[in-house]
């Protein structure tokens, strides 16, 4: 493993927030020259890791405004054997991006990912009234379009503007300050590098034997008895039938902690499957 080149899959194209997170993880791995490989969807990122096309991958887990990223959760639960190796929180700061020679008067269309447009709706309404909006595949793509067309303004991060040679007209145009996204570094089981972090977190996927009254209460009770404070619980349909759900759980600590081992052993006797998605450092 030590001689294997460091390759990291991410949701492209270049300049996305996923790309920015991949660069952070590369630095955390002590491999700033790692090869960062863009893919079209989170499914593709998971597949690249599972099939060994890349050593690691970067996926978004949760956004402070939009909530959990369901495509990532479903991959962890149903499609992939990848585990979480680390987590980084990236501040989401949207910028209005223009062609280097353009002014606001030249702008006829505002392009961005649908979330970028939704998260800057107040700025668009107040500062650019009457302009058309265009939904594109990513915020980075909007920066690329703006760099090549004076009539298009993009909504993206400063990183994308630099990469594509566009100009930042206004910074911090998001409606809600404090917008953040948690990104996970994923890898195949057994590929965990030695990474440092200020604290550890554990993520689980829990599958019920059957849908019956009191199951969630039983799950929560096992963690309460072990004095484990849950920081996230999220239900997702199992895709096996209407009303059939499983649960994602997160909490501070490691699966090596005695209290955690006790809770997991009790749950394994009562649930169909307890899938450990990782115990990993969080910055």
Q: According to the model, what pLDDT value does residue 1 have? A: 46
Statement to judge: residues 118 and 71 lie in one domain: no
Here the CATH number for the domain that contains residue 244 is 3.30.70.260
Tell me 75's DSSP state. I
Same domain? For 59 and 183 the reply is yes
Environment class of residue 101 by beta-carbon count within 10 Å: exposed (0-12), middle (13-18) or buried (19+)? Answer: exposed
Pair type for strands 109-112 and 152-156: parallel
Are residues 99 and 67 part of one domain? no
Both 203 and 272 in one domain: the answer is: yes
Helix axis angle, 215-225 relative to 258-270, nearest 10°?
Answer: 160
Burial class (CB in 10 A: 0-12, 13-18, 19+), 130: exposed
Q: Among residues 189, 191, 207, which one has the least CA distance to residue 82? A: 189
Cα-based angle 212, 213, 216 (whole degrees, multiple of 5)? 95
Has residue 64 been placed in a domain? yes
- Whole-number Å distance between alpha carbons of 50 and 191: 11
78 with 183, same domain: the answer is: yes
pLDDT at 196: 65
What's the domain range around 126?
95-171
Co-location of 26 and 166 in the same domain: no
Alpha-carbon distance of 270 to 283, in angstroms, equals: 33
Strand order in the sheet with 95-98: 132-135, 109-112, 152-156, 95-98, 167-171
User: Measuring CA to CA, how many Å separate 267 from each of 158, 194, 270?
Assistant: 46, 29, 5
| Beta-carbon contacts of residue 171 (< 8 Å; ≥ 6 apart) | 93, 95, 158
Collapsed DSSP state (helix, strand, coil) of residue 45: helix
Pair (31, 87) in one structural domain:
yes
Same domain, 118 and 83: no
| CATH classification at residue 63 | 3.40.190.10
Provide the token pair at 200: 């550890």
Same domain, 113 and 78: no
Predicted local confidence at residue 275, as pLDDT: 94
- Provide the whole-model pTM: 0.85
Count the domains in the chain. Answer: 3
Taking the CA atoms of 59, 258, 256 and 210 in sequence, report the sign of the dihedral they define. negative
Residues of the chain scoring pLDDT < 50: 1-2
């Amino acid at each position: 493993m030590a001689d294997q080149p460091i390759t990291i899959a991410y949701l492209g194209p270049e300049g996305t927030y996923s790309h920015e997170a991949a660069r952070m993880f590369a630095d955390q791995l002590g491999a700033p020259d790692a090869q960062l490989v863009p893919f079209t969807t989170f499914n593709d990122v998971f597949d690249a890791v599972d099939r060994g096309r890349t050593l690691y991958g970067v996926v978004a887990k949760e956004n402070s405004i939009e909530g959990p990223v369901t495509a990532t959760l479903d991959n962890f639960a149903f499609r992939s054997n990848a585990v979480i190796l680390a987590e980084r929180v990236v501040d989401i700061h949207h910028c209005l991006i223009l062609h280097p020679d353009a002014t606001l008067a030249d702008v006829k269309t505002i392009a961005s990912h649908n979330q970028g447009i939704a998260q800057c709706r107040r700025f668009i309404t107040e500062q650019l009234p009457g302009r058309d909006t265009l939904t594109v595949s990513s915020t980075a793509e909007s920066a690329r379009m703006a760099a090549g067309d004076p009539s298009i303004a993009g909504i993206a991060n400063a990183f994308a503007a630099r990469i594509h040679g566009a100009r930042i007209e206004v910074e911090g145009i998001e409606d809600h300050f404090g917008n953040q996204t948690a990104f996970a570094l994923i890898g195949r089981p057994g590929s965990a590098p030695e990474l440092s972090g200020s604290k550890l977190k554990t993520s689980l996927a829990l599958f019920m034997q059957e849908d019956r009254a009191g199951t969630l209460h039983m799950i929560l009770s096992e963690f309460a008895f072990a004095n484990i404070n849950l920081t996230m619980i999220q239900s997702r349909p199992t895709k096996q039938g209407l009303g059939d759900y499983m649960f994602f759980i997160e909490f501070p600590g490691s699966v090596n902690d005695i209290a955690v081992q006790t809770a997991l052993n009790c749950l394994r006797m009562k649930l169909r499957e307890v899938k450990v998605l990782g115990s990993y450092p969080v910055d």
